[in-house]
A and B are shown apart, each in its own frame.
Chain A
């Protein structure tokens, strides 16, 4: 029911809203940013999580007054869908370029990022890579491409070195390894790096098995695992396949000494933890992770969870990538693409929740970026390595 008083209140609000621009003078033109992710297709879940993270950062920046050096200009997202294929991703970049965006942020999967960064480079369009772990992304000399997080070479090296530390501390119970990876650039590249690194530490890589996306039956792979009987199983794949693989292992009663993931799609995922608490127990992962000592990461987690979403790595990676971009636009004092690229290259962005320290780009790669090692312990994901971020003592090997 509408009373006279509420009517007055509403008209006052409406009045002030329409009057505000007159008081504040002309609003500065918004800064258009292409937010490009695979929100449909096989990678839809991850893509949607990324988009959510990026949009939250964008809203935070706008709420805090926008880009101050541009008179409080708001960031405006132009959403794009890469449909889980590189071709569609590249086509979206062309559209965003036509629409006059100042920068592109995306595009989650390595294979898609490879295509979108290249398409953006043709137009001198700055491209911040939010996840895309393949190192080729930043190794082609593209001046427009900046990756805030670590690449898979760093992740593989950190993972293998730490595996050796854990194994040595436990009296070297593990000697053999089986790698299961998805067949696109991310999985194949990670598997190749691991196969190269592991023998150097004295581990025998018994099997490397690849699979398609999507795969709905891991029985054969798990049977192979049974016959190979590896001490350690290393999966490198996306969420759905990771989850199904681990569940199939549970069904077939295959229990290696450790499931040791490198950038495992579901290994350090609150979603997986909630859906399959038994299957996820004890899984170790070397992956993107936030600084657990930073209070703001917990606040962000609460906000994400309040929306009914899981605080997955996609969310906080895309969130911080957007903050990094906003910081660069602030310092560029311009919506000009070249100026933003220059500001990104000189970035020392340190006001973030990742365990990277101040940003320093060399050839588009943030030098301080590092993965953390986590393990699912007593129903929660805890950081086990490195020591300065440690929340729990590692459990290795797993008791059968």
Chain B
């Protein structure tokens, strides 16, 4: 069980899963870091994106990777509108309202999906679904490898956007000091909606990379959102580097947990880490502001 031939593929497998987790968590941490919204609708939004990818593939024959330029802007627009039209208005400036609004949104989205698609678990079949690539002793499924690379690129783009662009500076300014940013002429409402939009755009990318090796059903988001919250806490609330490292770490922990404890118990490690971080390092691995 402890041989390199078994551990190495399991760790690689975990890294590929972890990269997608990281992408989901990046969206969540952006929304949390700037808007201070604990977005319970994150999982449901991922589910919506997965269905979009599935629909594009099954009805229009669009490959999930080619669907990126459709799904990512689509999710961005959905996020922007949701924040401006629903969340912002319904919150009346109170954080606890936002909590309930996003929870309500997730319930609405899941049930709409149930109505439209029933509770069937759906998958797509692509020519490369079962293709594997040999890396040393490990045979890694090609879609997972692409997901790993894609998630890292998407994360890099996001980090660059936040660090180097005017929008990124505005986002960081609003996150630090809302009033000050407004006095400097930053359109705070617009930045809020942009952040929410980008957060959901991350999910759009994650969905495109995920579906070739995964499935979609109306409840699929639930599993991801718990893991994503753990990653955000582990990495430090609002820390992008933390979300990326945390995601990869959680992926590996889950994979090794599955290997040693069995698939049904594999996720125990994740939540043990969650509790341990809260107890001993509540600011998270990379959290400085706590």
Contacts and interface: CB of A to CB of B under 8 A. Distances in A.
Given A40-B120, A247-B130, A251-B132, A220 B1 contact: no
B215 A214 contact: yes
A211 B263 contact: yes
Contacts of B217: 214
A252 B3 CA distance: 16
Nearest to B258: A220
B165 interface: no
A41 B262 CA distance: 24
A42 interface: yes
B62 interface: no
A216 B17 CA distance: 12
Interface size class of B (residues with CB under 8 A): 20 to 34
B139 to A, nearest CB: 5
A176 to B, nearest CB: 15
Nearest to A253: B139
Interface residues of A, number: 27
Contact of A209 (B120, B130, B262): B262
Contacts of A214: 121, 215, 217
Contact of B13 (A41, A84, A183, A220): A220
B143 to A, nearest CB: 11
A219 B9 contact: yes
B12 to A, nearest CB: 9
Nearest to A207: B262
B118 A223 contact: no
A13 interface: no
B39 interface: no
Nearest to A42: B121
A83 B119 contact: yes
B255 interface: yes
B149 to A, nearest CB: 18
Contact of A224 (B139, B141, B213, B259): B259
Contacts of B10: 219-220, 223
5 contacts: A83-B119, A214-B217, A220-B13, A227-B1, A227-B6
Interface of B: 1, 3, 5-6, 9-10, 13, 17, 118-121, 123, 130, 132, 139, 141, 213-215, 217, 255, 258-259, 262-264, 266
Interface of A: 40-42, 44, 83-84, 183, 209-212, 214-217, 219-221, 223-224, 226-227, 240, 247, 251-253
The 3 A-B pairs with the shortest beta carbon distances in the complex, nearest first, are A220-B258, A40-B118, A227-B6
Given A210-B262, A216-B215, 4 more contacts: A211-B264, A217-B13, A224-B259, A252-B139
